């Protein structure tokens, strides 16, 4: 049995050097290896790179299983591989291999030849709380995959190669199915963030919250449910605004939200609290600064106004691992100048716009919340 089959790290002969540690760790202890974080897990450099390549096939299988409806089919009943193959119109011999992979990776369990969902698998059904079904469907869409596959060209050209010449939001406006999944993907990941933002202790002065690029309105809905004296404004692209109306109706919030179908660069509505959640990383510095400047001007007339920026942020110290480097690569691949920033970078751009970050706290999913207020003395400094 090989080391890979047993799950044990494979010692690399190249690592059998004089400074091999006596602990039996697979990697030599050299100064230059100290920032190599999988070393602590005993993973060899070879297996580390291999695991990244294996992840491509793993994601392909997961995406295929979600897209073929395997998780939905198993959500209410246990089925054999043949029954599943018939239900999702798949060749039985191929479906069986997908099921083997799902079983080996704990998405399904097997009893008397019948598959059933584990808790892990249930998280990929549409009805699951914080379902990742739509995230998988979006991430596996050819448009998304191609953008990442073209990164080598993007490095050279300095801007992404959008399919049909369209950048993501124009592309979404043209593709109803992808747009549906994207909006639900955003909605699903926004619930936990919405709860945390709604639980902030300072809503006493807030009468109106305006969520800019607020998607279907998941965060705003949490705030409005938690604070009955607050009314909401959602500013979104027209294609999303129409569905946001429906979402607020389903949430019994019809009379408490004004949905504005428009472009955030065309003007900012009046409000006491502004929210920008996962919007900044789609923008280059020029556009982000222009948006912050508009917000700063809108906030200037209201002493109590503040701006809440919810974003994933890069580590301030280089060399520290963070999932936000991967999201930054996606932004690089898809949006002209889109980027994930460190907290310091956000603070600098806020200051250029005449805003000052007064508080920072962690949100679910390793996101950060920066709260900023108008600080006119900073303009141009």
Ligand X SMILES: C[S@@+](CC[C@H](N)C(=O)[O-])C[C@H]1O[C@@H](n2cnc3c(N)ncnc32)[C@H](O)[C@@H]1O
Which CB, 167 or 203, lies closer to ligand X?
A: 167
Which CB, 84 or 197, lies closer to ligand X?
A: 197
CB of 242 to ligand X, least distance (A): 12
With CB under 6 A as the contact rule, the residue among 236, 243, 306, 311 that binds ligand X is: 236
**Both structure tokens of 173:** 């406006």
Give the contact letters, 164-203, x = binds to ligand X (CB under 6 A), - = no: -----x----------------x---x-------------
Of the candidate spans 25-33, 65-73, 258-266, 338-346, the one that interacts with ligand X by CB under 6 A turns out to be 258-266
In angstroms, rounded to a whole number, what is the distance separating the alpha carbons of residues 84 and 122?
A: 16
Residue number of the CB closest to ligand X reads 213
CB of 80 to ligand X, least distance (A): 39
With CB under 6 A as the contact rule, the residue among 279, 292, 327, 332 that binds ligand X is: 279
With CB under 6 A as the contact rule, the residue among 264, 280, 307, 363 that binds ligand X is: 264
Neighbouring C-beta atoms of residue 372, cutoff 10 Å:
28
> Tokens 């069986």 label which residue?
96
Of the candidate spans 157-165, 248-256, 275-283, 349-357, the one that interacts with ligand X by CB under 6 A turns out to be 275-283
**Both structure tokens of 142:** 């050819």
Neighbouring C-beta atoms of residue 312, cutoff 10 Å:
21
354 contributes a contact to ligand X by CB under 6 A = no
Cβ-contact 186, 217 below 8 angstroms: no
Where does residue 155 rank: exposed (0-12), middle (13-18), buried (19+ CB within 10 A)?
Answer: exposed
- Please count the residues of the chain: 381
With CB under 6 A as the contact rule, the residue among 25, 277, 296, 367 that binds ligand X is: 277
Neighbouring C-beta atoms of residue 361, cutoff 10 Å:
11
With CB under 6 A as the contact rule, the residue among 121, 160, 214, 312 that binds ligand X is: 214
**What are phi and psi for residue 29, nearest 5 degrees?**
-90, 105
CB of 213 to ligand X, least distance (A): 3
In angstroms, rounded to a whole number, what is the distance separating the alpha carbons of residues 270 and 301?
A: 10
β-strand pairing of 273-277 with 231-236? unpaired
- Site size for ligand X (CB under 6 A): 16
Which CB, 236 or 351, lies closer to ligand X?
A: 236
Residue 282 is given by DSSP the state G
CB of 211 to ligand X, least distance (A): 7
Residues 211-225: b if buried by 16+ CB within 10 A, e if exposed: bbbbbbbbbbbbbbb
Of residues 351, 347, 344, the one with CA closest to residue 374:
351
CB of 290 to ligand X, least distance (A): 11
Give me the residues that bind ligand X (CB under 6 A), please. Answer: 169, 186, 190, 213-215, 235-237, 240, 263-265, 277-279
């Amino acid at each position: 049995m090989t080391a890979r089959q047993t799950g044990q790290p494979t010692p690399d002969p190249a690592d059998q050097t004089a400074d091999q540690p006596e602990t039996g760790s697979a990697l030599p202890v050299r100064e230059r290896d100290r920032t190599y974080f999988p070393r602590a897990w005993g993973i060899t450099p070879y297996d580390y790179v291999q695991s990244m390549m294996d992840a491509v096939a793993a994601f392909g299988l997961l995406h295929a299983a979600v897209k073929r409806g395997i998780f939905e089919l198993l959500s209410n009943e246990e089925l054999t591989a043949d029954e599943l193959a018939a239900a999702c119109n798949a060749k039985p011999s191929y479906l069986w291999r997908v099921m083997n992979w799902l079983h080996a990776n704990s998405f399904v369990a097997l009893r008397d030849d019948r598959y059933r969902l584990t808790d892990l698998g249930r998280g990929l059904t549409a009805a699951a709380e914080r379902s990742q079904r739509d995230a998988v469907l979006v991430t596996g869409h050819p448009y998304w995959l191609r953008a990442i596959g073209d990164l080598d060209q993007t490095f050279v050209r300095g801007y992404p190669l959008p399919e049909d010449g369209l950048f993501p939001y124009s592309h979404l406006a043209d593709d109803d199915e992808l747009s549906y999944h994207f909006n639900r993907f955003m909605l699903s990941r926004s619930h936990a963030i919405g709860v945390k933002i709604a639980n902030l202790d300072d809503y006493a002065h807030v009468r109106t919250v305006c969520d800019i690029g607020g998607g279907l309105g998941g965060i705003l809905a949490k705030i409005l449910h938690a604070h009955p004296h607050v009314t909401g404004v959602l500013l979104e692209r027209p294609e999303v605004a129409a569905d946001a109306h429906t979402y607020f109706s389903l949430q019994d919030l019809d009379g408490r939200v004004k949905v504005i179908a428009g472009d955030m660069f065309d003007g900012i509505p009046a409000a006491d609290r502004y929210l920008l959640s996962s919007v900044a990383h789609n923008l280059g510095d020029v556009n982000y600064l222009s948006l912050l400047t508009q917000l700063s001007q809108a906030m200037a007339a209201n002493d109590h106004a503040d701006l809440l920026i919810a974003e994933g942020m890069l580590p301030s110290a280089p060399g520290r691992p963070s999932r936000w480097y991967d999201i930054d690569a996606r932004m690089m691949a898809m949006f002209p100048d889109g980027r994930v920033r460190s907290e310091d970078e956000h603070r600098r751009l806020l200051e250029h716009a005449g805003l000052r970050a007064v508080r920072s706290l962690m949100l679910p999913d390793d996101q950060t919340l920066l709260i900023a207020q108008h600080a006119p003395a900073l303009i141009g400094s």
